[in-house]
Structure 1
Amino acid sequence: MWKFKTRSSTRSKNRAIEPQVVVTLAQQRTSLISVIGEVNTPLRFAVPATGAGDRVLDAITRAGGIKGQGYSTWVMLERGGRRATVPFENLVMNAANNIYIQPGDRIYVYQEQQKFIVFGASGAEGTLGSQGEFNFDAWRINLAEGVAKASGLQDARADAANVFLYRREPKEVAKLLGADVSGFAGDLVPVIFQINLSDPGGYFLATRTQMRNGDVIFISNSQSYQLSKFFNFVTTVTQATTGVTSTIIGVPTASAAVHGNTVATPVTGTAGTTVIPVTTATP
């Protein structure tokens, strides 16, 4: 077989046969990470297409950290048209939530207090109660602390044996609690927990029950207070009836005076009936 050698091959003999070329990418917009919202220095920074090895907290640190308190800070991550939101606490306390960032991610940091609502016989004695919406003002609080934020239970009004906690639980949890979830179409099921604070063991249970954002606490009235409310209602109705009777009695008197008649002073008869003698004036 014939073998031919070209001039170029002869010149390249004994030279490098594996040349290397270095290419530097100045900017790639699809690989930018955005960190905006309640951070000290909102920014966009570039990362390699394979990722920079940074996590969500690292990206927030690049942006100067969060502005407000950690317990009221939430972090939303947008990736590929989908969004997920977690409390800032979850990123700090649970390393599994502090995931790696990827090119094109957007991180939005915002402030929103976790809140709960209290109804019923709560508040200081002699007041209408401390019903309303309350902030956590902490990363987490328990049920006992939630009741304390509403100034506790009113001694003369509250039924300590009937304190209720309303919340929504996942269907799996509701099933474990023995609830029938067949009538609920969603993933969450409304569940009511009852705690007896008249039992010392109930206080330990309340300290172990963690409050969640959107929970509702209801403190029911005692039976004696309900009976007192009934008697107050009866008294109010009786007083109103007495006032109407006095008004009706006064009508003939006023009518006689308008027509120029002499009206005598009302007298109570022996049978307890009010008699109003009216005499006609002489023309």
Structure 2
Amino acid sequence: MIVTLMLLTACSLPRSGPNKKEIYAGAVERGGNTHVIYVNDHVTRATNFMPVYGFSSSFRSAGQVGADEIRAGDVLGLSIWENVDDGLLTSLGASSTSLQEIQVDSAGYIFVPYAGRIRAAGNSPEQLRQVITQRLSAQTPDPQVTVTRVAGNGATVSVMGKVVAQGVYPIERPTRTLSAMLAKAGGVGIEPEVAVITVKRGNQQGKVWMTDLYSSRSNDIALRPGDIILVEEDQRNFTALGALGGQTRVPLGNEAISAVEAIAMVGGLSSALADPTGVFVLRDEPESVAGKVLGKPVFGMQRIAYVLDLTRPNGLFLARDFLIRDGDTVYVTEAPYVQFAKVLNAVTGSADSADALTSIGD
């Protein structure tokens, strides 16, 4: 009867999760759909890779936008002086006229009275001045023309996300690179260690860690009109469960984190509960990596439960070399005696309660 009571109690007692035996029962060799693999040097070499952020050669090789180049969407200001009393554009008694806020159309052209439709995009203000002067010279003697850019609407980028001041900013001489434009927007509004910067350009995009942007000049790319700059907090994380100092979801940041470090980040193994032979890292492994780990061709994503036995002579070294990746679940099983102690305590407690009730009845 005592044995039956203990078995029934064991089935109903609370615990932090499955034990080693139950995890092994789901192995492929036993009809399950999970590969249970002990971590060794081969496994650490096959699985240790980190996502690499960076810009492609097309982003890196793009030259800086000319600060004086006129583009579609720019707004120009013209001032024209004529060397006659009754000029084409000037009013009676005036020697000059100003044509303000002339917008370059989507095809890159502007219209100037008596000079006609003129292509402005692709020219500098000086080059455009010469074209307008030449056109007007046929109708008024020795005209003097100045051209200024009133606004840079044709060469702008959008800065969005976790920055101090989101907005649309013109590409000007001081803000022609990624770092300069971020500074123009007030800088990032989150910790630099977890900030990821994405630049979208047409159908392409590239991303870089904030810290890598400033550590390598090659990442400080030149901006192009229409670029979208998005600053986000890195969302990569792992989940810690089981007999640990804490059970939570932990951000990875931009550093490579080993299994030992991951365990330490949540308070280490629970000295009262943890089984150091049953540290599992549960992961959906891509086909290319799974094939290397298993040593055979596989098709599609594979569920793998990596086992770290910290009691082995090189167990801690392997745990130190095994890298945690985004989406991993680090699970530590309870030591076998823990559940036995719970059962014994429950049964003993039940027996004491029964004796107490018998005494009261008597």
Class of the TM-score when normalised by the shorter of the 2 chains: 0.5 to 0.7
The answer to whether residue 319 in structure 2 is matched with residue 197 in structure 1 is: no
Match of 1:69 in 2: 191
What are the residue-to-residue correspondences of 1:23-172 with 2, within 5 Å? Answer: 23=128, 26=149, 29=153, 31-47=155-171, 54-80=176-202, 87-89=209-211, 91-92=213-214, 99-112=221-234, 114-123=236-245, 130-136=246-252, 139-172=255-288
* TM-score (ref. length: structure 1): 0.60
Secondary structure (helix, strand or coil) at the match of 1:22 reads helix
Structure 1 residues 61 and 174 mapped into 2: Cα distance closer, same or farther (>3 Å)? farther
Deviations 1:75-116, CA, capped at 9 Å, x for gaps: 233333676655434545677766553321111213356533
The answer to whether residue 330 in structure 2 is matched with residue 222 in structure 1 is: no
Q: Distance in 2 between matches of 1:120 and 1:159?
A: 10
Aligned residue identity for 2:199: L
Deviations 1:190-218, CA, capped at 9 Å, x for gaps: 43222121134222222233333432211
Please say if residues 72 and 139 of structure 1, whose CA atoms lie closer than 8 Å, have aligned partners that are also in contact: no
Q: Distance in 1 between matches of 2:315 and 2:148?
A: 65
Once the two structures are TM-superposed, the CA of residue 148 in structure 1 deviates from its matched residue by 1.2
Aligned residue identity for 2:307: Q
Deviations 1:165-202, CA, capped at 9 Å, x for gaps: 12333321122112778564xxx544322212113422
Secondary structure (helix, strand or coil) at the match of 2:231 reads strand
Q: Distance in 2 between matches of 1:141 and 1:158?
A: 21
Structure 1 residues 190 and 200 mapped into 2: Cα distance closer, same or farther (>3 Å)? same
Q: Distance in 2 between matches of 1:149 and 1:76?
A: 28
Structure 1 residues 134 and 225 mapped into 2: Cα distance closer, same or farther (>3 Å)? same
Once the two structures are TM-superposed, the CA of residue 237 in structure 1 deviates from its matched residue by 4.6
Pair member with larger Rg: 1
Please say if residues 291 and 298 of structure 2, whose CA atoms lie closer than 8 Å, have aligned partners that are also in contact: no
2:345 to 221, 224, 232: 232
Q: Distance in 2 between matches of 1:236 and 1:86?
A: 59
Please say if residues 119 and 131 of structure 1, whose CA atoms lie closer than 8 Å, have aligned partners that are also in contact: yes
RCO comparison, higher one (Cα < 8 Å, 6+):
2
Deviations 1:243-275, CA, capped at 9 Å, x for gaps: 79649x95xxxxxxxxxxxxxxx4xxxxxxxxx
Structure 1 residues 153 and 213 mapped into 2: Cα distance closer, same or farther (>3 Å)? same
Structure 1 residues 25 and 213 mapped into 2: Cα distance closer, same or farther (>3 Å)? farther
Once the two structures are TM-superposed, the CA of residue 160 in structure 1 deviates from its matched residue by 0.8
* TM-score (ref. length: structure 2): 0.49
Aligned residue identity for 1:224: Y
Q: Distance in 2 between matches of 1:47 and 1:96?
A: 19
Secondary structure (helix, strand or coil) at the match of 2:294 reads coil
Match of 1:209 in 2: 322
When the two structures are aligned, how many residues end up with a matched partner?
Answer: 218
Aligned residue identity for 1:121: A
Structure 1 residues 77 and 138 mapped into 2: Cα distance closer, same or farther (>3 Å)? closer
Please say if residues 258 and 323 of structure 2, whose CA atoms lie closer than 8 Å, have aligned partners that are also in contact: yes
Where structure 2 has 5 or more consecutive residues not aligned to the other structure, the ranges are 1-125, 129-146
Aligned residue identity for 2:127: V
Secondary structure (helix, strand or coil) at the match of 1:231 reads helix
The answer to whether residue 127 in structure 2 is matched with residue 22 in structure 1 is: yes
Deviations 1:15-36, CA, capped at 9 Å, x for gaps: xxxxxx7126845645311123
Structure 1 residues 30 and 171 mapped into 2: Cα distance closer, same or farther (>3 Å)? farther
Q: Distance in 2 between matches of 1:190 and 1:93?
A: 37
Q: Distance in 2 between matches of 1:112 and 1:71?
A: 9
Where structure 1 has 5 or more consecutive residues not aligned to the other structure, the ranges are 1-20, 124-129, 251-265, 267-283
Instruction: Provide the aligned C-alpha RMSD in A.
Output: 3.9
Q: Distance in 1 between matches of 2:175 and 2:295?
A: 45
